[in-house]
Amino acid sequence: MTRNVAVTGIGWVTPLGCGAEPVWKALLAGRNGIGPITRFDAAPYATRFAGEARDFRPVDWMDVRTARHLDRFVQFAVAAGAMALKDSGLEADKLDPYRAGVLVGSGSGGIETIEEGQTRLINRGPDRVPPLSIPKMMINAASAALAEAHGLKGPSFAVTAACSTGAVAVAQAASCILTGQAEVMLAGGSEASITPLSMAAFSACGALSKRNDDPVHASRPFDLRRDGFVMSEGGAVLVLEEMARARARGARIYAELSGWGLTSDSHHITAPEPTGEPAARAISGALAMSGEPVDAVGYINAHGTGTPLNDPAETRAIRLALGAAADRVPVSSTKSMLGHMLGAAGAAEAAIAALAVHTGRIPPTMNIEEQDPACDLDCVPGSAREAKGLRLALSNSFAFGGHNACLAMRRA
């Protein structure tokens, strides 16, 4: 039996709000979710701003007791999963529980829980480490909690691939459907890394922007004066469903997840492979699996972090993969508005690619004042663009460790 994978639901917790519709509208309007850090005293830090999920209230999605037992990154996943299910029109209690599963990844897992536990250990001794520390910090806690919340008993696990985690999770969840292990999968990523240690560590390795006087304009992918990425937090979950099943129930289908490509740079733990060839092969792999030529590509949601090395390397990768077609394909980075959600970014951006196909609209890249000549693509600067007839969109995710992923979303 030939199977295809439909995207039928989207759930988002982001610095621009919660839920598919409001966040999508904010992205098309070019709104920015970056501001001063409020979760801890960042005064001594070199970078004092981030993309906090300020509108998120755990008790909107779970009872107080449950919320206390979950790390913030797990709370994001549970909330985004509930939104995605509601958006899809599926009712969990009417699903065959053994044919529905969960795959939500994270880059850091419960880093907030780890930091709190370490502080207690040092200040108060080993007997004062909270007993729920392990189940709160483990990366698979998000998948486990989301499966438990809805009684889903199919495949449930987690992946981690740094900033490509969300994209890899979506691809692996789709594989569960293609191989017949499940009919429905909740797939995505979640991250809550706006913590003292994370901010200090990313700053120490020189990855973060230091535009403390102008945080709204700090995330500036493809701009000549970019100086690093902007840390962000949130969760993104997609409902993936076997296409024939989705059609039979009359579901609204955002897009078909038609292909993906996964490669490794095998080059450096943080720097991208400078020629862009491994990333280009991920893009080509997604097209090959989709059975589509390069001329079919109508939009690329770029990884586009705004770091000095990433943006030119991604530009080279796109040119290698698309050849002459790269000159006509719009390429935008929504990290210019959302910041970098790390392990959640790939899933959030996969949903953006699906919505671009579904609506025929392309979100902009904000904060481009002088485009870097080394990033000589159509970067959709400043305002959203109509793209009626858009049939195929790609979403790139290229991570620390050289983990490359590209997802292809095709109009269903």
Separation in Å, CA 300 to CA 111, 226, 322, 352: 31, 20, 11, 10
Distance between CA atoms of residues 333 and 335, nearest Å? 5
Token pair of 218, please? Answer: 């700090």
Tally the residues of the chain: 412
Distance between CA atoms of residues 337 and 309, nearest Å? 20
- Which residue's entry shows tokens 């449950």? 66
Closest CA to 371 of 337, 397, 336, 341: 336
Which region holds residue 367: left if phi is over 0, alpha if psi is between -120 and 50, else beta?
Answer: left
Closest CA to 387 of 349, 409, 408, 356: 356
- Which residue's entry shows tokens 């930091």? 115
Catalytic residue among 18, 150, 176, 303: 303
Q: Respond yes or no: is residue 303 known to be catalytic.
A: yes
Q: Evaluate whether 82 touches 149 at the Cβ level (below 8 Å).
A: yes
Distance between CA atoms of residues 101 and 312, nearest Å? 38
In 161-224, DSSP assigns E strands to 184-191
- Main-chain dihedrals φ then ψ at residue 23, nearest 5 degrees: -70, -40
- The helix (H) or strand (E) run that includes residue 338 is helix 335-338
Catalytic residue among 163, 176, 375, 379: 163
- Rounded to 10 deg, the angle between the 196-204 and 111-124 helix axes is 110
Which region holds residue 342: left if phi is over 0, alpha if psi is between -120 and 50, else beta?
Answer: left
- The helix (H) or strand (E) run that includes residue 261 is strand 255-264
Closest CA to 33 of 23, 46, 43, 42: 23
Distance between CA atoms of residues 399 and 266, nearest Å? 12
Distance between CA atoms of residues 142 and 273, nearest Å? 31
Q: Could you give the 3-state DSSP secondary structure of residue 295? A: helix
Q: Could you give the 3-state DSSP secondary structure of residue 238? A: strand
- Which residue's entry shows tokens 């394909």? 329
Catalytic residue among 18, 150, 176, 340: 340
* Residues with catalytic function: 163, 303, 340
